[in-house]
Amino acid sequence: MKAPVRVAVTGAAGQISYSLIFRIASGSMLGPDQPVILQLLEIPPAMGALQGVLMELNDCAFPLVAGVIATDDPNVAFKDIDFALLVGSRPRGPGMERSDLLNANGAIFTVQGKALSDNAKPNVRVLVVGNPANTNALICLKNAPKLNPRNVTAMMRLDHNRAMSQIAEKTGTHSTKVEKVVVWGNHSSTQYPDISYATADGKAVKSLVTDEWNKNEFIPTVQQRGAAIIKARGASSAASAASAAVDHMRNWALGSNGQWVSMGVYSKGNPYGVDQDLIFAFPITCENGEWKIVEGLEISDYSREMIKKTEAELQSERAAVADHIK
């Protein structure tokens, strides 16, 4: 057994966390030989509900749980942590875009960025799940001077997994046989799910589907999946979001075995011509605890147009939160 690592989860009494915390505790995220100390953050009105989550966590008697802290103080929750999953924030309701949450949620990430910088291990790996995830991650890193900007990421893995599953269904294969899918840009309806390089059972997906399906079915379905789930469930995705968070962190920490994944990362150095100083999703591989953008891909005119659109949205979100990222 390894020495325990400290994992913070915010919004710990919320919907996503109700699935996420138990997946982390069972070893799905960091492996069956990695004990964890869970440091759970909530706001004061939700501390009662969090006590209930704690009781259930104890009742699971998970072998890998080496300790649990439940608190409403971010400085306590983030003390000496190795991993942070920032889930706590308001979800959107029907008819809203995720960017409508900027006002409600932006301030949370100013406070939590500072608390991470002051308390977490300097190489803490951070995943922002709370929406609008990319811009909240930017706010977080701008308020966390002691953190490496490379270590602050936003969740695009749910979009990536959605894209994989849509392709698998269309091509009559299993999602494990689908490779080299990319979702570029923002976790929003401007995201660009891109099949240019994707293969299914080793064959080019572009040769298996029509352009019509790609543009009029696949891309809109993936872009609008979050809204479709809100409409169907009356609440935003939770178990699939938790599963994507587990996938994102597991691949980052333990490697993606050469597979491409989509992660929202800091766009330092204008990768693929994307404006710097954004949290933007690119094709990524992970090895030895580090992510790396897949380089040298040819970008078609259509892809360039789609990437520019989602980049423009992130630029406007960044302008809207200028007060939080000074």
Contacts to ligand LMR by CB under 6 A: 91-92, 98, 131, 158, 226-227, 229-230, 236-237, 241
- Can 187 be counted among the known catalytic residues? yes
Cα three-residue angle 284-211-202, rounded to 5 degrees: 50
Q: Confirm or reject binding of residue 247 to ligand NAD (CB under 6 A).
A: no
Strand pairing report for 5-10 and 83-86:
parallel
Q: Beta 178-179 vs 152-154: how paired, if at all? A: unpaired
Q: Is 250 annotated as a binding residue?
A: no
Q: Choose the binding region for ligand NAD from 127-135, 175-183, 291-299, 314-322 (rule: CB under 6 A).
A: 127-135
Toward ligand NAD, which CB reaches closer, 13 or 208? Answer: 13
Distance CA 315, CA 326 (A): 15
Q: Residue 98, annotated ligand binder?
A: yes
Residue 113 binds ligand NAD, judged by CB under 6 A: no
16 binds, among ligand NAD, ligand LMR, none (CB under 5 to 8 A by kind): ligand NAD
133 binds ligand NAD (CB under 6 A): yes
Binding mask 139-178 for ligand NAD (x = CB under 6 A): ----------------x--x--------------------
3-state secondary structure of 131: coil
Query: 195 Cβ partners below 8 Å, 6+ apart?
Result: 163, 167, 181, 205, 206, 209, 214, 218
Buried b / exposed e over 106-128, threshold 16 CB at 10 Å, is bebbbebbbbbbebbbeebbbbb
Identify what 229 binds: ligand LMR, ligand NAD, none; CB under 5 to 8 Å per kind: ligand LMR
- With tokens 């892809």, the residue in question is 303
Distances 239 to 82, 246, 247, 264, 298 between C-alpha atoms, Å: 23, 11, 12, 20, 35
11 is in an annotated binding site: yes
Q: Tell me how far, at minimum, the Cβ of 36 lies from ligand NAD, in Å.
A: 19
- Which of 173, 189 has the CB closer to ligand LMR? 189
**Is 14 labelled as part of a ligand binding site?**
yes
* CB 224 to ligand LMR: min, Å: 9
Strands, DSSP E only, in 76-206?
83-86, 125-128, 152-154, 178-179, 182-184, 192-194, 199-200, 203-204
Binding site for ligand NAD (CB under 6 A): 10-11, 13-16, 41-43, 46, 87-92, 108, 129-131, 133, 155, 158, 187, 236-238, 241
Residues annotated as part of the active site: 187
